[in-house]
Amino acid sequence: MAAVPPPISGTPPRVSTVHGTVRGTLERGVAVFRGIPYAAAPVGARRFRAPEPPEPWEGVRDAVAFGPTAPKRPYNPPLNRLLPDPDVPGDGCLNLNVWTPDPARTGLPVLVWIHGGSLLHGSSAVPLYDGTAFARDGVVLVSVNYRLGMEGFGVFPDAPANRGLLDQIAALTWVRENIAAFGGDPDRVTVCGESAGAISIGALLAVPRARGLFRRAVLQSGAPTALPLGPAARRTTELVAKRLGVAATAGALAAVDPAALLAAQTEVTAGGSPLTGGNSFQIVVDGDLLPRDPLEALLDGAADDVDLLMGSNSEEYRLWFVPSGLTERLSAFRLRLALLKFRVPGATTRTYRANRPGATPGELLGALATDLLLRVPLNRVADARARARGRTHLYEFGWPSPVLRLGACHALEIGFVFDTLEKPDAVALTGADAPQELADAMHAAWVAFAASGDPGWPGWDASRPVMGFGPGKPAVVRAPRDEELHGWAPYRTKS
């Protein structure tokens, strides 16, 4: 674990970056810099294009407030009450924030946070992502914004795909070039993300252009996945363009007012979720930036020198199913249709049902979907890395929130990782009495992983160790719920 530096004090800190000098603030003993541009504003001729370097500035630039967030709309009800999503107006959304123990230090580990939000929502300004605790414990925390929705992930014949992913690479390049001036070690960078942020990282692990930009990676509740560049990948873009009455090209959409584009995008993507499907924006295998499916690449040994920490929450599905009433509303008939659609073997369904006596059809579908989309692919990646040069560690978060019967739902672990349980947006998910000792343990594990690649429990091997962060003291479980895992291809032949 990184040595904890003493708090700094005195005048507001200044740091010289390659583009100019920034002045931050001192908050609770750490130096904080907000809203630093890592790329030029993606507007005008730069809209729907790859990110370009920011214009250098003269003098000292104040970096005391969060910069503009990417164009987006709030989460639809009822999730908007559980997932606050600050909106900061302005064009220069390609910015980042830095929390550091002391810019005068050298060689500190660095953690770069990529937020989630289904590639439609979220920003680095979410209070839950406050990096003070990481800086307090000797880690430089960087959080980034990137383009979302049509601006970042619309698929066009006349513009580069995966622009939001290109933004993330530009931010990591900025970190590589500048983080030493903030006390960080550019050779000890860990990239960390949740949900769509973790899916982004799964893709970055397979992107040749991202090689060397990070040494370690944390995937929270997101598995490597991408769509082939075909009709399915273009569908949402084409539906939005049709609703606006324009061609599905970057040239045509660049002339559309951003507010009108957001409104059409919201209408087209309404009603779905990461588990139930629907129109959405996805990372695509474009043959250029991302040459192949990221899961296949990782199974074939890509990024085998990168240390990985991966995991999910025991009841991810409850964030979407419980507030919407789907846990009670889904009928047995609809369950059967869903199982047929996803080709779930009957024996697998019977195993899950036997392990969950009294579960409603909605709860059973949620458990199956959580494992199909998260636990199975993450286990496959871990198995494929048995002899990798980089270490692999898995976790499962299982503490159940009492709020709205959300249980161990999607996104619940973030306040524990950041040690920000006191923030109102953490309390919205956890309630007022979340266990601080669990946050202490989980946050310490992430700090240790960023510092050394060892979060404090055995690496992946044939015994399949998983650290369980749940009620009571965290503990390693070997091959948890293995009989359920064996119900899925390609594990069925291994039972």
Give the alpha-carbon dihedral of 373, 379, 385, 386, to 10 degrees.
-170
Token pair in block for residue 371: 């494992």
- Annotated catalytic, 296? no
C-alpha distances (whole Å) from 166 to each of 192, 310, 327 are: 16, 23, 38
Strand-strand pairing, 14-17 and 465-469: unpaired
Query: Of 115, 121, 410, 443, which residue is the catalytic one?
Result: 410
Reference 390, options 190, 200, 192, 208; nearest CA is: 190
Residue that has been written with the tokens 């622009």 in this structure: 163
State the CB neighbour count (10 A cutoff) for residue 215. 20
* SS3 state at 23: strand
Query: Of 151, 194, 315, 316, which residue is the catalytic one?
Result: 316
Angstrom distance (rounded) from CA 144 to CA 411: 18
Q: Find the helix or strand (DSSP H, E) in which 309 lies.
A: strand 307-313
- Which residue intervals of 356-461 are DSSP H helices? 361-370, 376-384, 414-417, 424-430, 436-452
Whether the CB-CB separation of 204 and 210 falls below 8 Å is answered with: yes
Reference 194, options 367, 488, 352, 397; nearest CA is: 397
Reference 383, options 293, 492, 459; nearest CA is: 459
Angstrom distance (rounded) from CA 102 to CA 183: 6
Angstrom distance (rounded) from CA 218 to CA 413: 13
Give the 3-state secondary structure percentages of the chain, helix then strand then coil, rounded to 5. Answer: 35, 15, 45
Angstrom distance (rounded) from CA 237 to CA 157: 11
Reference 36, options 216, 182, 204, 217; nearest CA is: 182
Residue that has been written with the tokens 């009841």 in this structure: 315
Cis peptide bond upstream of 455, omega within 30: no
Bridge partner list, 277: 273
Residue that has been written with the tokens 């900025």 in this structure: 174
State the CB neighbour count (10 A cutoff) for residue 48. 21
Query: Of 124, 195, 221, 401, which residue is the catalytic one?
Result: 195
**Residue 438 C-beta-side C-alpha neighbours within 13 Å:** 25
Angstrom distance (rounded) from CA 374 to CA 22: 40
- Annotated catalytic, 195? yes
Bridge partner list, 141: 99, 111
Angle at Cα 427 formed by Cα 424 and Cα 433, nearest 5°? 135
Q: Which residues are catalytic?
A: 195, 316, 410
